[in-house]
Structure 1
Amino acid sequence: MSRKLFGTDGVRGRANTYPMTAEMALRLGAAAGRFFRRDGGSAHRVVIGKDTRLSGYMLENALTAGLTSTGMNVLLLGPVPTPAVGFLTRSMRADLGVMISASHNPHHDNGIKFFGPDGFKLSDEAEAEIEAILEGEIAPAQPQNIGRARRIEDGRGRYQEFVKTTFPAGLRLDGLKVVIDCANGAAYKAAPEVLWELGAEVIPIGVSPNGTNINERCGSTHTQTAAEAVVAHGAHVGIALDGDADRVMILDQNGRTADGDQIMALLAARWAEEGRLRGGTLVATVMSNLGLERFLQGRGLRLERTAVGDRYVVEAMRRGGFNLGGEQSGHIVMTDYATTGDGLVAGLQFLAEMARTERPASDLLHTFETVPQLLKNVRYEAGKQPLSDATVKARIAEAEARLTGRGRVLIRKSGTEPLIRVMAECEDEALLRAEVEGIVAAVEAAV
């Protein structure tokens, strides 16, 4: 069963435009409620969290209406990180978790993603079943069975207490000056409070959300702001989260940014030394740098690659029994602790390594030499199929032939935006640039 509405990370689009309308959110909530109430019975519950986007109010109310109309009892968490929804869905014995967020996208976008009762994101098959229900008549509950909705005031606090348990009990962050950039998003209260409670001197930025400034020149997709703060305050390290706090970038004391590949390399090496890395394997996507793969191979470890999307990383981890994975973009998944990427937990694991080794961030963050990698995006109009164009196919084949034995080419559609992503790796930077630009030009001509 195929999916049309759901992408690689739930349903996403521009707010107040299909499919991110109040009407669609209401129907989507009703369809999800009917899917999870297939067995009948009572006392079904769903937790709903959101980030700080203005449109979150509209979608939260619409989803609540749809869910309660099919008999689901709704527990509203307010602004919390995406991983908090995964955690609280399981902790509160809910049948369903919902996060309203478009992650790292601008404020005018929004999205809806679902978690099952185990705290993990729904499978492709489950999403396809919800779509099938959505396309038909959705049976409402009888009047006496309509669900209730209420706010949970301590959801964020429960999550914060859990996050602190992932930090080694014998360590503290005393003496560490930490810049934390919350991207004016979902972790704007949780992240600074957790760091302060663990003993750090905290310099918070991106903690003044107004509904339209989420991810705006801040956070994990714009680390320059955090870098400037690190240097200006003489901080030991910077942590930059994205709008829903499931991604992280870490900056050393010089303001230099390390991506998810470098963070995963450090954790994989440490966990392998401690005998904690299950199967001697790190799971990452096809976007992860070739240098990461070489680093792991040099230590007798294995890199298992998946399609792009943290959900596919998690699925591969669960199939193989692995406990560490993630994406170059900053999703770091540690199933010993969480069911999805958690930027704050990943940041704490790095800070624990700093505290344990008493080494500067610059020593720890640059674990391997990256192979030069170039990524460019080409936007296209809905309905276009630029990758089916014969000229584009021919240009991609030429690039693959030229890079054989010297690097690789990866061309794909984004699962969350109307973009063609053109990426290549090669140690010959001039050749790398020429091939990427050549493919980009062919795609632009096609669209």
Structure 2
Amino acid sequence: MERKYFGTDGIRGHVGEGVITPDFMLRLGYAAGKVLGRMFKAKHHRRPRILIGKDTRVSGYMFEAALQAGLINAGVDVALLGPMPTPAIAYLTRTFHAGAGIVISASHNPYHDNGIKFFSAGGTKLPDEVEEEIEAALELPMVTSDDLGRAYRVDDAAARYIEFCKASTPWGFSLEGLKIVLDCANGATYHVAPKVFRELGAEVSVIGAGPDGVNINLDCGSTNPQQLQRTVAKRGADLGIAFDGDGDRVLFVDCNGELVDGDQLLYIIAMHQHQFLDGCSGVVGTLMSNYGFELALRESDIPFERAKVGDRHVLEKMSANKWKLGGESSGHIICADASTTGDGIIAALQVLRGLCDFDEPLHQLKSRMTMFPQHMINVQLAHRDGVIDHTDVQAIVTDAERQLADSGRVLLRPSGTEPLIRVMVEGRDSVQVKQLAKDISSVVERIGNN
């Protein structure tokens, strides 16, 4: 069936407009309860329990109540976790042997957006066929269950997750002597992340840890790291760590206030596994991963493959290759030997393990990989059909690739939500990269607006 609601990262939208309304959440809870409840009962022969977590945006209270009512009406028990990072819900779903986990969050988006993410009983994203069943069940009339579910609050959820994060490091691992600034984006990590790093011995100062319902991701967090960059320099910290609103992304800032993105963090984790652990079987990036990252891994004989943008596509290719590491330049990093989904705190700890074992500061360790200049232009078009495959577009792309030789690449990618094509060029020479992107974009614009 055609997917109407679910995208690659759940359901997301502007609160009160279109899909994201309390009425929809009520029906979604009922539909999910019916589908997931039936699947769970068929396997375990008992009534399922579904966990609900959320980030700190003000609309979470409203949607939590609506989802809870729908699930209970479908005969499902509900465990309320309160504000928790998205990866914590994935972990706790497994820990409590729940039928599923639900996160109310729009991730790195501003507060006036919200969304829903589902996790299966195994802590992974729901398969397409299950999401399709839930979508189909949205059209069914709601009928009160003969056996209503019940709801209760899990008081020790945060403590359980803190211990889980710490356990992703080896026994005796210590951050003693490390001065860290954390930016919690006024989001779901605000009461969890500081405790993890402090309990491992680091000297921690925190910004973005005063959520008021509307300041999530506002001028802070991984999408707006400027405040963290200034704070690290001002306080003379060794490094800074920025999470997004629901804690599944992470970026670093080195002691000089320079941003360290997801590709650079993945490189550090991969090289640490390669040199100090059992080796790195391979790394999955995306179409947007920096070409310098690919070359650096190749020089160390670490296999690398690209997936489509989106953590689901990254995880699918990781599973197909039986690899344990993958992620995106945005900082969504999956360490599959420690977690079933992208987890900002877990990924940060793996980076810090690398810094400790290499015994090098972050700014020095990241310099082992040369990032290539990357330039992207969003070309607005009247139509996109056939533009990328047009002979004129293919000709100029081929010419650009010839000029770049083996030191760069060209990527043309249609937007999934807007009438535009993203033209991206990267290579060693920033002047050449910008000019080639401009030349290709001119041809794409001419073809797409004729």
Aligned match for 1:157, one of 159, 166, 178: 159
Q: CA deviation at 1:329?
A: 0.8
Distance 1:446 1:77, change over 3 A: farther
Q: Which residue of 2 aligns with 1:31?
A: 31
> Is the contact between residue 34 and residue 139 of structure 1 (CA under 8 Å) also seen in structure 2?
no
Q: Which residue of 2 aligns with 1:142?
A: 145
Q: Which residue of 2 aligns with 1:387?
A: 384
Aligned match for 1:404, one of 397, 401, 408: 401
Distance 1:437 1:108, change over 3 A: farther
Q: Which residue of 1 aligns with 2:48?
A: 44
Distance 1:82 1:443 in 2: 39
Q: CA offsets, 1:238-284, max 9 Å, x none?
A: 10111111111111111111111111111112212245345x21111
Distance 1:418 1:391 in 2: 13
Q: Which residue of 1 aligns with 2:359?
A: 358
Give the 3-state SS of the residue equivalent to 2:101 in structure 1.
Answer: strand
Give the 3-state SS of the residue equivalent to 2:384 in structure 1.
Answer: helix
Q: Which residue type is aligned with residue 215 of structure 1?
A: N
Trace 1:60-99 onto structure 2 (pairs within 5 A): 60-99=64-103
Distance 2:361 2:422 in 1: 35
Q: CA deviation at 1:411?
A: 3.3
Q: Which residue of 2 aligns with 1:427?
A: 428
Distance 1:150 1:415 in 2: 39
Give the 3-state SS of the residue equivalent to 2:38 in structure 1.
Answer: coil
**Counterpart check, 1:9 vs 2:9:** yes
Give the 3-state SS of the residue equivalent to 1:388 in structure 2.
Answer: coil
Aligned residues between the structures? 440
Distance 2:377 2:34 in 1: 41
Q: Which residue of 1 aligns with 2:269?
A: 267
Distance 1:391 1:170, change over 3 A: closer
> Is the contact between residue 354 and residue 360 of structure 1 (CA under 8 Å) also seen in structure 2?
yes
Q: Which residue type is aligned with residue 21 of structure 1?
A: T
Distance 1:251 1:7 in 2: 31
> Is the contact between residue 49 and residue 80 of structure 1 (CA under 8 Å) also seen in structure 2?
yes
Q: CA deviation at 1:439?
A: 5.8
Give the 3-state SS of the residue equivalent to 1:37 in structure 2.
Answer: helix
Q: Which residue type is aligned with residue 108 of structure 2?
A: H
> Is the contact between residue 262 and residue 368 of structure 1 (CA under 8 Å) also seen in structure 2?
yes
Q: Which residue of 1 aligns with 2:225?
A: 223
Q: CA deviation at 1:376?
A: 4.2
Q: CA deviation at 1:51?
A: 0.7
**Counterpart check, 1:121 vs 2:122:** no
Q: Which residue type is aligned with residue 322 of structure 2?
A: G
Q: CA deviation at 1:305?
A: 1.1
> Is the contact between residue 13 and residue 111 of structure 1 (CA under 8 Å) also seen in structure 2?
yes
Provide the alpha-carbon RMSD of the alignment. Answer: 2.4
Runs of 4+ in 1 over 6 A off after TM superposition: 416-419
Q: CA deviation at 1:106?
A: 1.1
Q: Which residue type is aligned with residue 276 of structure 1?
A: D
Q: Which residue type is aligned with residue 16 of structure 1?
A: G
Consecutive unaligned residues in structure 1, runs of 5 or more: none
> Is the contact between residue 7 and residue 415 of structure 1 (CA under 8 Å) also seen in structure 2?
no
Q: CA offsets, 1:320-352, max 9 Å, x none?
A: 211111111101111111011111111112222
Percent identity between the two aligned chains:
46
> Is the contact between residue 183 and residue 209 of structure 2 (CA under 8 Å) also seen in structure 1?
yes
> Is the contact between residue 46 and residue 75 of structure 1 (CA under 8 Å) also seen in structure 2?
yes
Q: Which residue of 2 aligns with 1:213?
A: 215
Q: Which residue of 2 aligns with 1:58?
A: 62
Q: Which residue type is aligned with residue 140 of structure 2?
A: E
Q: TM-score, normalised by structure 1?
A: 0.92
Give the 3-state SS of the residue equivalent to 1:404 in structure 2.
Answer: helix
Q: CA deviation at 1:292?
A: 1.1
Distance 1:122 1:251 in 2: 33
Trace 1:172-187 onto structure 2 (pairs within 5 A): 172-187=174-189
